[in-house]
């Protein structure tokens, strides 16, 4: 190798290392060369679908997804002693979503670029072509369909346009390397790569938090996927901490006004930590049970296990202590006998005087009856979850503490979350008065 070629190779490898990150470019240890992963820039809203001609694989028939990133083209190269003065680099191209024919076309075009620049370093020109012109060169447009044969090896991808070199040089290039991919593995790889790249892009992008009004990188922020709003982790942590400590686990939503997006459990856990998340998880589970009409709790003070009410009748059987009880009076199940909590106190007292029930049972039943009467007189049932709600002042717009539903206290109509006061804007018998 001439000194000039050796210096040119070293300078080119150093330039590539300075341009591309360690995740993109890895220089070979043994010989002059390396491996570079080229992620193409896709148009906004790029749609892919996958088709398989295997009769046994119905998974691909329904797959269609919008992606921002596709897995990279992997360009491996080795610089021979005569490069760049007389000999081109040795290389291979591989990509899970390009067919061997398409990869062959790219290999042959790299040969053409070398012929145009023979005697000069060419790696950067090759890389720029692969990164910036592959989609146009192969006429890849959205929507785009990947055709996977039954043997798992991808054939040509279908596109509305015709490939630029159809009918020319049909022989597959031996430098075009195509790994076998099953349909399910290919779909998973594409979606996982897309998610990973979107996360990297988000982490390196600055965002302005609408709570503290400071600009921070995405790595220190949380994205609500349903709405796209972004807030810094410090502000969201304080906001969620307060909500969980106050038991408002149904309010861990996006802080943006009138936004309905809810934080995922994983996001909550990352922000508040293991201990507070355990409380959140317990309260959320408790809330879910409370909203289920057929779930009651074992009345034994030392148990309190959730019990699913029997489909027919008023019996509940605790799975923990095996106690069979009446879901109305919470006493031992009495079959077809009248419930031990009558509608009138006179009947209850009479049973107590006759010795049919004990004093403690009488006192407990009397207390339950009083509570039930107070609730009936001083509350209304939420139209969403049927929980009793007390009104202690303010306007007629109510918010259920259990399910978060807005409703009108006067007519019990469910009100929209985005503008609950619209119900009171026009006179319809529910004018917004303090009652």
Residue carrying structure tokens 């929209």: 416
414-415 β-sheet, strand order: 397-399, 406-408, 414-415
- Residue that is written with structure tokens 């023979």 in the block: 118
CA 155 – CA 88 distance, rounded (Å): 28
Sort strands 315-317 and 324-326 into parallel, antiparallel or unpaired.
Answer: antiparallel
Pick from 332, 339, 327, 321: nearest CA to 297: 327
Give me 345's structure tokens: 């106190």
- Please count the helices (runs of H) and the strands (runs of E) in the chain: 9, 21
Catalytic residue among 39, 227, 385, 395: 395
Cβ(77)–Cβ(89) below 8 Å: yes
Measure the CA–CA gap between 95 and 74, rounded to whole angstroms. 6
Q: Is 395 annotated as catalytic?
A: yes
What is the C-alpha to C-alpha distance for residues 45 and 311, in angstroms, rounded to an integer? 49
347/1 Cα distance (integer angstroms):
110
Find the length of the chain: 435
The four Cα atoms 277, 282, 288, 291 give a dihedral, to 10 degrees, of -120
User: Which distant-in-sequence residues (6+ apart) come within 8 Å of 399 by Cβ?
Assistant: 405, 406
Continuous segment of H or E residues that includes residue 259: none
The two structure tokens encoding residue 29: 């240890």
Measured from the Cβ of residue 376, the count of other Cβ atoms closer than 10 Å reads 11
d(CA 28, CA 373): 82
Catalytic residues: 395
């Amino acid at each position: 190798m001439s000194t000039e070629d050796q210096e040119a190779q070293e300078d080119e490898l150093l330039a590539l290392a300075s341009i591309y990150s360690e995740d993109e470019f890895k220089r070979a240890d043994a010989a002059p060369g390396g491996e570079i992963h080229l992620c193409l820039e896709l148009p906004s809203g790029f749609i892919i679908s996958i088709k398989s001609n295997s009769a046994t694989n119905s998974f691909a028939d329904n797959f269609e997804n919008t992606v921002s990133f596709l897995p990279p083209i992997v360009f491996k190269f080795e610089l021979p002693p005569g490069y760049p003065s007389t000999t081109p680099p040795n290389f291979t191209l591989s990509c899970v979503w390009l067919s061997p024919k398409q990869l062959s076309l790219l290999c042959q075009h790299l040969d053409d670029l070398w012929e145009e620049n023979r005697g000069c370093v060419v790696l950067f020109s090759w890389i720029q072509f692969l990164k910036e012109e592959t989609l146009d060169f192969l006429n890849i447009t959205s929507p785009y369909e990947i055709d996977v044969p039954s043997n798992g090896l991808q054939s040509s991808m279908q596109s509305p346009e015709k490939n630029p070199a159809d009918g020319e040089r049909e022989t597959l290039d031996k430098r075009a390397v195509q790994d076998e991919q099953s349909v399910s593995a290919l779909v998973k790889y594409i979606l996982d790569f897309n998610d990973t790249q979107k996360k990297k892009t988000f982490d390196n992008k600055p965002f302005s938090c609408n709570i503290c009004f400071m600009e921070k990188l995405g790595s220190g922020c949380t994205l609500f996927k349903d709405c796209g709003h972004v807030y810094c982790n410090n502000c969201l942590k304080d906001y969620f901490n307060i909500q969980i400590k106050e038991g408002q686990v149904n309010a861990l939503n996006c802080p943006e006004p009138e936004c309905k997006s809810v934080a995922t459990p994983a996001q909550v856990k990352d922000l508040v930590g293991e201990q507070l998340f355990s409380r959140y998880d317990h309260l959320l589970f408790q809330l879910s049970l409370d909203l289920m009409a057929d779930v009651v709790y074992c009345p034994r003070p030392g148990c309190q296990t959730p019990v699913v009410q029997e489909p027919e009748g008023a019996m509940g059987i605790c799975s923990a202590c095996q106690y069979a009880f009446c879901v109305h009076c919470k006493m031992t199940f009495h079959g077809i006998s009248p419930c031990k909590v009558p509608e009138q106190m006179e009947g209850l007292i009479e049973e107590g005087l006759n010795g049919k029930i004990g004093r403690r049972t009488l006192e407990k039943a009397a207390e339950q009856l009083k509570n039930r009467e107070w609730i009936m007189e001083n509350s209304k049932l939420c139209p969403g979850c049927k929980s009793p709600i007390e009104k202690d002042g303010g306007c007629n717009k109510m918010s259920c503490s259990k399910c978060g539903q807005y409703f009108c206290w006067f007519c019990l109509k469910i009100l929209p979350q985005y503008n609950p006061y619209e119900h009171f804007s026009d006179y319809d018998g529910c004018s917004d008065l303090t009652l």
